[in-house]
Structure 1
Amino acid sequence: MTSLEFEMHLAAEAYGVIVNVDKPAGYSMGTHQHAFDACALITAGEITLTVDGVDTRYAIGDIFRLSAGTPHSESAGAAGVSYRAGRRGGEAA
């Protein structure tokens, strides 16, 4: 999926805020949650999200989704990670 196709997908699903996120190699954040739904397309590197004790790795071209209020932790791969993310609801601004 191209970035343009992804943005069209986000618009169709009413994601009003789109941001670019870049995290360096070694980045990690312990368990936290967001007040908004998130849908992200990995554009470089990789990230591992842990939800309910299950680790899932996302690489270039993969899409991950997190519903508002979902406790999760995250860590970037050896080359860091970049992704384009849509945010919907909650404190998405």
Structure 2
Amino acid sequence: MQPEDFAVILAQEGFQPPLTITREPNGHMGTHTHAFEAKALVLSGEISISVDGVESLYEPGQVFHLRAQVPHAEQYGPQGVEYLVGRK
């Protein structure tokens, strides 16, 4: 999916305009929650997200979606990760 197409989808679904987020190589965030719903398109690198003990890997062109208040942990790949994220 192209970033322009993703931005259109976010707007149609009521998300705020996307922000670009960059995370460091081999970094991580322990279990946490967000007060907002997030939908993101991976631009480069990779991110692994663990929810309820189930780990999912996302690579360039893939979209991940997290509802508000869902506990999750994040692990970033050897090149880190860059993604576009819309919040609502």
The verdict on a shared fold, with TM-score over 0.5 as the criterion, is: yes
Task: Please give the secondary structure, in 1, of the residue aligned with 2:61.
Answer: coil
Amino acid of the residue matched to residue 7 of structure 2?
E
* Matches for 1:1-93 after TM superposition, within 5 Å: 1-88=1-88
TM-score by length of 2: 0.98
**C-alpha RMSD of the superposition:** 0.6
Distance in 1 between residues matched to 2:4 and 2:19, nearest whole Å: 13
Task: Please give the secondary structure, in 1, of the residue aligned with 2:18.
Answer: strand
| 1:17 Cα deviation from its structure 2 partner | 4.0
Would you say how many aligned residue pairs link Structure 1 and Structure 2? Answer: 88
Amino acid of the residue matched to residue 5 of structure 2?
E
**5+ residue gaps, structure 1:** 89-93
| 1:12 Cα deviation from its structure 2 partner | 0.2
Residues 8, 17 of structure 1: alpha-carbon distance in 2 compared, 3 angstrom cutoff: closer
| 1:16 Cα deviation from its structure 2 partner | 1.5
Distance in 1 between residues matched to 2:22 and 2:8, nearest whole Å: 21
TM-score by length of 1: 0.92
Does the Cα contact within 8 Å between 2:18 and 2:87 map onto a contact in 1? Answer: yes
Which segments of structure 1 move beyond 6 Å, counting only runs of 4 or more? none
